[in-house]
Amino acid sequence: MTSRSRSNSVDVSALLVVLTPSSVTKHQQADLEKVHLNADAHPDLRQETVALLQLAFPIIATLALEFLPGAFSVAIVGHIDSPLRKEYVDAATLSTMFLNISGLSIGCGLSTAMDTLCSQTVGAGKLYNLGMYFQSGLIVLGSMFLPSLILNYHAEYFLLALHQDPVVAALAGTYSRVSVWCLPGFFLYELLKKVLQAQNIVHPMAYIAIVSNVVYGLLGYYMCYYTELSFLGAAYARTISNTLLPVFALIYLTWNPVYKVWWPADHSVSSQWKAALAHVPEFFTLGIPGMLMMLMEWWAFEVCAVMAGWMEDPVLAISVQSVLMSLSAQAYSLFLGLSIATTVRLGNALGANEPHRAELISRVALGVALVAGAFVSLVFLVTHEYLPLIFISDPASIEYVQDFTVIGDTWTTRSYGDFRVGPRNTPSPCLSCLN
């Protein structure tokens, strides 16, 4: 066991004793609040910067790895030796686009409620509420799967209604009917990840994402090039790798049973369903603005893919757009990860009644985001001639992609971390809409 792994371990029995409400007297609670306020009077800039970066780096790595399957699908399909290679790339791109807007963006957006609820619960020392919020998330995200399933099974109809190429639309519809089954595993993993992130347990999720991507890459390569599945192999590989995400997370929890503080003896799983159901309206209240924010951000990319299908050479245009979307997703993961880390740190500070520290965290996060934005822009400027070669082998598509660079919207994405931590996070979707 590495020292890093030990740092993520939790003495469950000790936490159960310390964090159970009945074990804290009123005098002790008053003393704790006084200590928090005294410590909050002089927050340390260097300490908060280091703490934010230590939390943000593994979250960013995890998000980048979670976005990789979409890029992998383009890269794997884009190198298939077939006269329909461009059509396969376009079908995988449009199918991924449709899955993003009809499933992933909805689930990921609604799950942002967990960032607010869980981080403040941990900051207040009420870890026994984490299990209830997790169960509320299961109810909410579980109810979203059936509509997503129905929409993706009829993806071809919607793509034809958007005047996409009939051959590409038919291939994309077949691809969507396979890839939509990746949603249940991803939703469950996302909820587990949110609860662990609130407790500053982030490194294991990055390792899990690495293993999942290795599985996806190996399966996708084998299924696309060595079976009769052809380009559909990428869809089957993504479904399998996403289904393994919560399996790997549950294996980690058996090794480090931190979940026991989510459901202590007097807050068992079976007894929490009624309370979890009662918190569903609150979950929607906090999650819907996050969902709208994510829908608007992701739709901005997906609308470009649809419009590319209206151009004079739609197959070439969508092929170019698919590479640009993959590169943009990787850049976006940096700022989204920083936003989530900011939400967790702010929630912990506000839950612990430390408003001055929360204000400093917000300023530190903005400074880090500005530096990150400059770094991302520089990387794309230097490497834009070589990056397309990773995804596609068509010379015409490569030439068009090389004429573009991607610049991250630093301030906007980072600012969502401030909005999500509060009880009124409606400015987030408004900001996305105006942006």
Q: Residues 161-217: pLDDT tens digits? A: 988 889 999 999 999 999 999 999 999 999 999 999 888 888 898 899 999 999 999
Q: If phi over 0 gives left and psi between -120 and 50 gives alpha, with beta otherwise, what is residue 258?
A: alpha
pLDDT at 46: 85
pLDDT at 280: 93
pLDDT at 405: 52
Please say if the pLDDT value at position 243 is more than 90: yes
Instruction: Give the burial string for 251-282 (b: 16+ CB within 10 Å, else e).
Output: ebbeebebbbbbbbeebeeeebeeebeebbee
pLDDT at 40: 56
Q: How confident is the model at residue 422 (pLDDT cuts 50, 70, 90)?
A: very low
pLDDT at 144: 93
Q: What is the mean pLDDT of residues 31-55?
A: 67
Can you tell me which residue has the tokens 């939703």?
A: 187
pLDDT digits (tens, 9 = 90+) for 271-286: 788 889 999 999 999 8
Please say if the pLDDT value at position 24 is more than 60: no
Instruction: In whole angstroms, give the CA distance from residue 112 to residue 200.
Output: 16
Instruction: In whole angstroms, give the CA distance from residue 414 to residue 106.
Output: 20
First to last CA, the chain: 46
Instruction: In whole angstroms, give the CA distance from residue 102 to residue 98.
Output: 6
pLDDT digits (tens, 9 = 90+) for 364-415: 888 888 888 888 878 877 777 777 776 666 676 777 676 665 444 444 444 4
Please say if the pLDDT value at position 295 is more than 90: no
Please say if the pLDDT value at position 8 is more than 70: no
Q: What is the mean pLDDT of residues 223-249?
A: 92
5-9, 63-67, 106-110, 340-344, range with the lowest pLDDT = 5-9
In this structure, what token pair is assigned to residue 409? 């919207």
Do the beta carbons of residue 58 and residue 205 sit within 8 Å?
A: yes
Instruction: In whole angstroms, give the CA distance from residue 80 to residue 230.
Output: 8
Top-ranked range on mean pLDDT: pick from 7-11, 126-130, 220-224: 220-224
Please say if the pLDDT value at position 430 is more than 70: no
- Alpha-helix residue ranges (DSSP H) falling in 354-407: 355-383, 388-391, 395-401
pLDDT at 336: 80
Per DSSP, the three-state class of 356 is: helix
Instruction: Give the burial string for 346-385 (b: 16+ CB within 10 Å, else e).
Output: bbbbbbbbbeebbebbbebbbebbeebbeebbeebeeebe
CB contact set of 39 (below 8 Å; sequence gap of 6+)? 354, 357
Q: What is the mean pLDDT of residues 27-36?
A: 42
pLDDT at 393: 65
Please say if the pLDDT value at position 148 is more than 90: yes
| pLDDT, averaged across the chain | 78
In this structure, what token pair is assigned to residue 138? 């299961």
Please say if the pLDDT value at position 23 is more than 50: no
Considering only residues 305 and 219, tell me which one the structure prediction assigns the higher pLDDT: 219
Q: Can you say how many angstroms the Cα of residue 35 is from the centroid of all Cα atoms in its chain?
A: 35
pLDDT at 414: 43
Please say if the pLDDT value at position 110 is more than 90: yes
Please say if the pLDDT value at position 48 is more than 70: yes
pLDDT at 388: 74
Percent of the chain with pLDDT over 70: 77
Q: How confident is the model at residue 255 (pLDDT cuts 50, 70, 90)?
A: very high
